[in-house]
Each structure stands twice: as structure tokens, then as C-alpha cells.
Amino acid sequence: MIYTKILGTGSYFPEKILTNKDLEKMVDTTDEWITTRTGIKERRISIDEPTSVLGMKAAEKAIEMAQIDKNEISGIIVATFTPDTVMPSTACVIQNLLGIQNNSFAFDLAAACTGFIYALSVADSMIKSGLVDNILVIGAERISPNVDWTDRNTCVLFGDGAGAVVLGKSEEPGFRSFHIHADGSANRLLTLDVLGSNFMANRKNMNIEENLLKMKGNEVFKIAVRAMAEATAKAVESSGLKYEEVDFFIPHQANLRIIDAAAKRINLTYDKVIVTLDKFGNTSSATIPTALDIAVRDGRIKRGANIVSAAFGGGLTWGSMLFTF
């Protein structure tokens, strides 16, 4: 039986830190409101590094840890809702930046904050079916240029960053369960309309500032709490493992209250939950791979650890997975 395993992890954040105190000077908000409502204290902002560069820097670290030649990578999938350009894909740009010259496939995948789990489920199927041997999966976002910095409802939430994993074949179990879902009927709850062809077709009458990232936070929150908790439980229950065999929970980092509800649903104590949103905010598709890489490199997550992950985002999309690292 062929399994897919994570051979290496990497993450990268831009240097500039934007704190809640900095935001107090920009919009009508307080450090206290942001901290108690979300758990976020600061986030990173890319001044001049595009999504592709953030992704490339995370990928270099993952390739180094995987100890494979970059030209052994048979494909690149980039989960992002903030690509450098609509065309070419950010995956193709990253292939070039990494200097991979083997004509490996490369494509972007759009599932907002659930993008990394969607991308891993696609890559896992490709490897298990025998189509290819190694795939580089990246979650990379430069969200800050797409944020309305006058809208306190959204601008306090997001940050820029990228995480990556190199996947390869294994005889030991790696990914044990995936669940991916969408509810398109709620697609207007979380939107980024600029540069889409609807926006471009009407661009003479359209205002960029009014079509930046928008979210009906409260409505999304209610759906997210339930969906994340249910998906997390489903990933464990269909993995063949028992609840007590789960070593870590790496949730999408949107809101600490959503994370707490999901962790409670599977009876996990807080020390087993990897939380990074205090330092990096919501980096969408990058939250799970960056949190994984941070916990691997600081020694918390070791080989053999059973990890459950869940995410929720625009679309609406949500999903979960359980894997043995």
C-alpha cells in the first residue's frame, strides 16, 4: 500500500510587524477588543515581497528539510486567494524562482482559508494513485494589499505569510483521512471582488476601495464554529485512530474562540493545540503549514505524531484531515 507522507516543512513571514497598538492609530479599535474577540496581538505585513516570493522562501526550507533535489519535485500546488497575478499562476512563478527545470506541473488552487487542506487532499490522491512521486504544496498569501485599512471589521484580522510541505511516497501511514466541503449558497459572506472578471467587465463604474476584502464576520463566525468542530471530529472518527491517540490539533487560525470550540469537541487539552494567531493573525491558506513548521522546528511535533487539522473560509469552504507526521 502506498501512503503519502510529509518529508519536509518550511515557513516564512515578512519582517514588518503590525501590532494592535499600531492599529489603534489607524482605525477606531483597541488592543483589548482585538485580543479578547480574536486572540490576535500582531501580524506581519509584506512591504515589497509578492506572494510568490513568500511561497518560494517557505518552499526552500521545506525542500532543505526533505533532503531531496529540487528537480525531483514532480509538481507544485499553491493554495492562495492572493496570487501575484490572475495569470500566470503563482505556482508557475514559484517553479521559476526555485529554478526547477524539469517541466513539473504547477497550478494554483482557490479555496480561501481551506486551500491548504484542499491542496493536500489533491496531492495525496495524485501520489497514492502512482501518478507522481513528490509534490511541493504551498499555502502563500499576501493579504495586506487586498484589505480595506479603514474597515475595523476586517483589517485587524489578517496578515501575510507562507508555509510549505514536500510530500513523498511512504510505506507507513501518513495522511489517514480527508474531508473537504463547500456551501456556495453563502458565497457573498466573504468576498474579494477586485480584479475578478465581473469587476473588470464593469470597471468604469467600479471603485477599488469598495471591492476589497469584505466579510460579514458575525454570520461567518456562527457557521465556522459549528463546521470546524464537526469537521475536526469527523477527521478523527474516520481515521481509524481513537480520540486519545491524537497528539496535536493544528487548526486554521482565524479566531481563538473558534479554535477553542473545535478543541473542546474532540476533548483536547490546550497544550495540544498549536496556536500562532497571536503573532501572525489570519494568514488564510498559510496558517496550517506555518503552524506545523513552527511546531516541528521548536521540537513540539516529532516524527510519528498524530495531527488533526481543520479549516474554514471564503466560498464558503471548510475541511479537515488527520495525518501521522
The answer to whether 156 contacts ligand ACO (rule: CB under 6 A) is yes
From 27-35, 41-49, 72-80, 292-300, span contacting ligand ACO (CB under 6 A) = 27-35
Among candidate residues 179, 252, 255, 306, the one labeled active-site is 252
From 151-159, 195-203, 262-270, 302-310, span contacting ligand ACO (CB under 6 A) = 151-159
Among 37, 128, 214, 300, binds ligand ACO (CB under 6 A): 37
Nearest to 314 by CA among 116, 111, 147: 111
Q: Which is nearer to ligand ACO, 123 or 189 (CB)?
A: 189
Closest contact distance (angstroms) between CB of 248 and ligand ACO is 21
- Mark whether 71 is an active-site residue: no
Q: Which is nearer to ligand ACO, 121 or 154 (CB)?
A: 154
Three cell numbers written together for 56: 518560494
Q: DSSP state, 139?
A: E
Among 239, 314, 318, 325, binds ligand ACO (CB under 6 A): 314
Applying CB under 6 A, what is the total number of residues that bind ligand ACO? 24
The answer to whether 253 contacts ligand ACO (rule: CB under 6 A) is no
The answer to whether 313 contacts ligand ACO (rule: CB under 6 A) is yes
Nearest to 242 by CA among 306, 171, 304: 306
What's the CA gap between 33 and 12, in Å, rounded? Answer: 28
Dihedral sign for Cα 285, 250, 55, 120, please.
negative
Contacts of 269 (CB under 8 A, 6+ apart): none
The answer to whether 280 contacts ligand ACO (rule: CB under 6 A) is no
117, 180 in Cβ contact below 8 A? Answer: yes
Among candidate residues 20, 134, 211, 282, the one labeled active-site is 282
Closest contact distance (angstroms) between CB of 203 and ligand ACO is 23
**CA dihedral of residues 62, 120, 285, 273 (deg, nearest 10):** -80
What's the CA gap between 13 and 11, in Å, rounded? Answer: 7
Phi, psi of 164 (to 5 degrees): -145, 155
From 8-16, 118-126, 287-295, 308-316, span contacting ligand ACO (CB under 6 A) = 308-316
The answer to whether 221 contacts ligand ACO (rule: CB under 6 A) is yes
Indicate the SS3 state at residue 154.
Answer: helix
From 4-12, 46-54, 87-95, 150-158, span contacting ligand ACO (CB under 6 A) = 150-158
Dihedral sign for Cα 277, 278, 283, 289, please.
negative
- Mark whether 282 is an active-site residue: yes
What's the CA gap between 315 and 313, in Å, rounded? Answer: 6
- Mark whether 155 is an active-site residue: no
User: What is the number of the residue whose Cβ is closest to ligand ACO?
Assistant: 313
